[in-house]
Amino acid sequence: MSEFLQQLVNGVTWGSVYALIALGYTMVYGILRLINFAHGDVYMLGAFFAYFTARAIGAQQNPGPLNALLVLAAAMVGCGAIGYIIERLAYRPVRKSSRLAALITAIGVSLLLENGGVLMFGGDPKFFPQVITARNLALGGGVTISNQQIIILVVSLALMLALRFIVLYTRVGKAMRAVSHSHTAAALMGISVDRIISFTFVLGSTLAAAAGVLVALQNPKIEPLMGVMPGLKAFVAAVLGGIGNIPGAVIGGLVMGVAEVMVVGYLSPTYRDAIAFVLLIVILLVRPAGILGKATVEKV
């Protein structure tokens, strides 16, 4: 039982990282109907921005919450800028074209970020400095949690609540919801659709950056291709929850994280990558629009 609880703790931690990345996928999809394949690579860039910031301010020598926060903020700002640039230069020109053209562009951007990363940072893994000294806390019943896991949980929860606040209770959030319903109608109401789309990309990219930093805290090996698999699985998590649906992305991410950790713990680590997809196919066969997605009736 205690082993199960331990796996659950690890799974929820891992799942909240997936959830953070999945939120970016689902928001962009909700607004543009675009699968932003480059999102996983933005997550990778987040880890690298944090790595270089941590080295620049010497966070390795004097670890502490203030430095950690600084590193996190730098990564989020950096990736926000990257997200803006990607949308402006690559996605906006193809927005009026077919969705597939946009998809291939997204794949191109993803390849560009990965290979550009290999070119700039080198293909070999870098070791992320310990900006927070690791410590383990006993939760009772043989279950332990590390302070890094607590940080992952707290930071991702805080970011999700912040996102919820922005989307539900601010003017820009209202505009985002309007644009996701209809670009034309939103534009007629005086909403600058272009600005809102840019804002969505920036928001999603900052969340991905935070996920990158949080993961790097726990698994300090970072490399330019680290975003491929988590990106893919976070996307699957977004679909699992019902793509375009913000609470759905969080639920999907948690389900995915817990399932994966359980498979590694109880079955075999080699099946880890397959489980995400088996789960996905099973859930989609039962609920074709995802856990929280609404089945849409096609009108003629």
Partner 1 sequence: MRQALWLLGSVVVLVGLHLALTGTLGPYFLQIVVLCGINVILAVSLNLVNGFTGQFSIGHAGFMALGAYASAMFSLHVGRGWVATLQGAGLPAALAAAPALLMALLLGGLLAALAGYLVGLPSLRLRGDYLAIVTLGFGEIIRVLILNIDAVGGPRGLPGIPAWANVFWVGLGVLAVILLSRHLADSTHGRALFAIRDDEVAAEALGVDTTRYKVLAFVIGAFFAGIAGGLFAHFLSYLNPNSFTFIRSIEVIAMVVLGGMGSISGSVLAAILLTLLPEVLRPVKEYRMVIYSLMLIVLMITRPQGLLGTREISLRWLRARFKPAGEAA
- Considering the complex, state which of residue 90 and residue 132 has its C-beta at the smaller distance from partner 1: 90
Distance CA 44, CA 113 (A): 9
3-state secondary structure of 126: strand
Establish if 273 lies at the interface with partner 1 (CB under 8 A): yes
CB of 230 to partner 1, least distance (A): 14
Residue 45 to residue 196: CA distance in whole angstroms: 23
DSSP helix/strand/coil, 145: strand
Closest to 245 measured CA to CA, from 282, 193, 299, 290: 290
As a whole number of angstroms, the distance between CA 120 and CA 193 comes to: 34
Residue 289 binds to partner 1 (criterion: CB under 8 A): yes
Paired tokens of 36? 């932003």
For partner 1, give the closer residue by CB, 70 or 283.
Answer: 283
Pairing of strands 143-146, 136-140: antiparallel
The pattern of x and - marking residues 133 through 152 that bind partner 1 according to CB under 8 A reads --------------------
Minimum distance, C-beta of residue 153 to partner 1, in the bound complex (Å): 28
Which region among 47-55, 150-158, 207-215, 282-290 touches partner 1 (by CB under 8 A)? Answer: 282-290
> What tokens were used for 1?
């039982």
Could you give phi then psi for residue 144, rounded to 5 degrees?
A: -120, 155
Q: Does 124 bind partner 1 (CB under 8 A)?
A: no
Rounded Cα–Cα distance for residues 299 and 239 (Å): 23
Give the residue with the Cβ less far from partner 1, 210 or 243: 243
Distance (Å, whole) CA 233 – CA 26: 13
Residue 182 has what DSSP assignment?
-
CB closer to partner 1, 37 vs 199:
37
Q: Is 280 in the site for partner 1 (CB under 8 A)?
A: yes
The stretch near partner 1 (CB under 8 A) out of 47-55, 95-103, 157-165, 185-193 is 95-103
Chain-centre distance for alpha carbon 11: 16
Question: Closest distance between partner 1 and the C-beta of residue 263, in Å?
Answer: 11
Interface residue with partner 1 among 65, 93, 141, 142 (CB under 8 A) is: 93
Q: Which of 118, 132, 145, 187 binds partner 1 (CB under 8 A)?
A: 118
* Secondary structure class of 281 (helix, strand, coil): helix
- Considering only 214, 236, 291, 292, the residue that binds partner 1 (CB under 8 A) is 236
The contact set with partner 1 (CB under 8 A) reads: 29, 35, 90, 93-94, 97-98, 100-105, 107-112, 114-116, 118-119, 232, 235-236, 239, 243, 268, 270-271, 273-274, 276-278, 280-281, 284-285, 288-290, 298, 300
